[in-house]
Amino acid sequence: MTRDGGSALLSRFTLSLPAGGACPIVVGSGASAEAPDHLRASRATRCAIITDSNLERSLGAPVLGRFREAGVDAAIFAFPAGERHKTRAVKETIEDRLLAAGFGRDAAIVAVGGGVTLDLAGFVAATYMRGIPLLQVPTSLLAMADAAIGGKNGVDHPLGKNLIGTLHHPAAILADTDFLDSLPDREHRTGLAEIIKAGIIRDAVLFGEMEARADALATRDRATVRVFLERGMRLKAEIVAADDAERDLRKILNFGHTIGHALELVTDFTMSHGEAISVGMVAEAGIAVRLGLIGAAEASRMEALLRAVGLPARLPEGVDPRRLVDATVTDKKSRGGQLEFALPAGIGVMARTDAGYARAAPRDLVLGALDAIR
């Protein structure tokens, strides 16, 4: 990853991609206004804006207006909002609409929305006409910190989350922090989970600074949130650049996600991604304690910071740990039905074996860690 500098309003850095490619990342107030420039840089001459029904008018329409003011042929393709609509059927419907509207290889996909939209639109871009350019315009804190960076995309299956998809990096990521002002408090909190995760897995200094500024994060101080968002995004970009194909280092990004994805599934997605990952991190830190990888005091610090910003640290009422463990077996990180986790060896460092960062844990031990947070 290279650093291109920044200004009071915008910061810029670049995610280096395989085969010499690069994805510019712009973070800050007004970043989305640059979308037409990045579209031209991708050599596309028209664009299909994919967004959900909740954001079609409030955020999709203004982005559409920017393209049209710049003389770009653009149209919006909205789909019903919600994780339950991140499916193969919805993807096919969007593709049918694109074909009916005459979009060809001269087009680009512009994803405007949260993680569901970015995952779904990225999958469309990866397969439509065998692959066309993609611009990511994340509109939530969670999407900026997580879904926008890394090229992962896909749809859910009744057996698990994101089980069908591919890797297709965007031509640019424009994280416009002005969009964050309209987020409900719950959506703000859910985004903080992935930023806190960044500190736990890779940067103890970042984690300590977030501990010191937890009140400012919780109360949505704009400058504080932007600083930690940008640092979390840079850290994820560095990890992805080092291991694009997730053969080794990139697996550390899965901390909290084996349990977290299972929680989303068994609660029928009534838990947001960030809430589920928060509980997942507490549970998986408990697994690490039981395996002797970290001390109880370090796990307590992780839980304390999550709680300090308003994130949950306990299983929702009525969730059976056994059902939760059963749901992890269908997770795409599972190998031969074996429960595997990316686990911390301390704050800022992840445990690694000769086999890499994925670590097996016995079912009974996992159940014990889950029982402890009921």
Whole-number Å distance between alpha carbons of 341 and 257? 8
| Confidence band of 3 (pLDDT split at 50, 70, 90) | very low
Rg (CA), the chain: 20
- Max mean pLDDT among 140-144, 241-245, 330-334, 350-354 falls in 140-144
State the CATH number of the domain containing residue 341. Answer: 1.20.1090.10
Average pLDDT along the chain: 94
The answer to whether the beta carbons of residues 14 and 25 sit under 8 Å apart is yes
SS3 label, residue 23: strand
Give the tens place of pLDDT for each residue, 279-299: 999 999 999 999 999 999 999
Helix ranges (H only) for the chain are 35-41, 61-69, 88-100, 115-127, 141-142, 185-202, 204-212, 214-218, 222-242, 257-266, 273-290, 296-308, 321-328, 363-371
Measured CA distances, 8 to 18, 137, 227, 240, 277 (Å): 31, 20, 11, 26, 32
| Residue 320 dihedral angles phi and psi, to the nearest 5° | -85, 120
Across residues 347-363, what is the average pLDDT? Answer: 92
Short-list 176, 137, 139, CA closest to 28? 176
Q: Provide, rounded to the nearest whole percent, the portion of the chain with pLDDT above 90.
A: 88
Instruction: Say whether both 224 and 96 belong to one domain.
Output: no
The structure's pTM equals 0.93
DSSP 290: H
**Cα torsion 36, 42, 46, 51: sign:** negative
Instruction: Say whether both 148 and 220 belong to one domain.
Output: no
Whole-number Å distance between alpha carbons of 68 and 323? 50
The answer to whether the beta carbons of residues 214 and 308 sit under 8 Å apart is yes
Instruction: Say whether both 222 and 100 belong to one domain.
Output: no
Beta bridge partners of 10: 28
Q: Is the pLDDT of residue 6 over 50?
A: no
Instruction: Say whether both 69 and 214 belong to one domain.
Output: no
Q: Is the pLDDT of residue 246 over 50?
A: yes
Whole-number Å distance between alpha carbons of 88 and 94? 10
* Residue 289, Ramachandran bin (φ over 0: left; ψ between -120 and 50: alpha; else beta): alpha
SS3 label, residue 253: helix
Instruction: Say whether both 135 and 25 belong to one domain.
Output: yes
pLDDT at 331 (0 to 100): 59
Q: Give the end of a domain, one of 182, 210, 231.
A: 182
The total domain count for the chain is 2
State the CATH number of the domain containing residue 46. Answer: 3.40.50.1970
Instruction: Say whether both 357 and 290 belong to one domain.
Output: yes
Q: Give the end of a domain, one of 140, 164, 182.
A: 182
pLDDT at 192 (0 to 100): 98
- Using the structure block, give the residue that is written with the tokens 């879904």: 147
- The gap between the terminal CA atoms of the chain, to the nearest Å, is 41
Whole-number Å distance between alpha carbons of 264 and 246? 23
Instruction: Say whether both 106 and 211 belong to one domain.
Output: no
Short-list 66, 71, 69, CA closest to 46? 71
Instruction: Say whether both 199 and 63 belong to one domain.
Output: no
Q: Give the end of a domain, one of 182, 215, 233.
A: 182
Instruction: Say whether both 119 and 195 belong to one domain.
Output: no
Per-position DSSP letters for 76-144, written without gaps between them? EEEE--SGGG-SHHHHHHHHHHHHHTT--TTEEEEEEESHHHHHHHHHHHHHGGG---EEEEE-SHHII
Q: Domain range holding 46?
A: 2-182
Contacts of 221 (CB under 8 A, 6+ apart): none
Question: Burial, 70: exposed, middle or buried (Cβ in 10 Å; 0-12, 13-18, 19+)?
Answer: middle
- Max mean pLDDT among 7-21, 185-199, 346-360 falls in 185-199
Instruction: Say whether both 167 and 269 belong to one domain.
Output: no
Instruction: Say whether both 165 and 220 belong to one domain.
Output: no
Instruction: Say whether both 51 and 116 belong to one domain.
Output: yes
Q: Is the pLDDT of residue 243 over 60?
A: yes
Whole-number Å distance between alpha carbons of 257 and 262? 8
The answer to whether the beta carbons of residues 309 and 217 sit under 8 Å apart is yes
Q: Which residues does the annotation mark as catalytic? A: 130, 152, 194, 236, 246, 250, 254, 257, 261, 273
Beta bridge partners of 136: 111, 173
| Structure-token pair, residue 344 | 């911390």
Helix axes 363-371, 273-290, angle to 10 degrees: 120
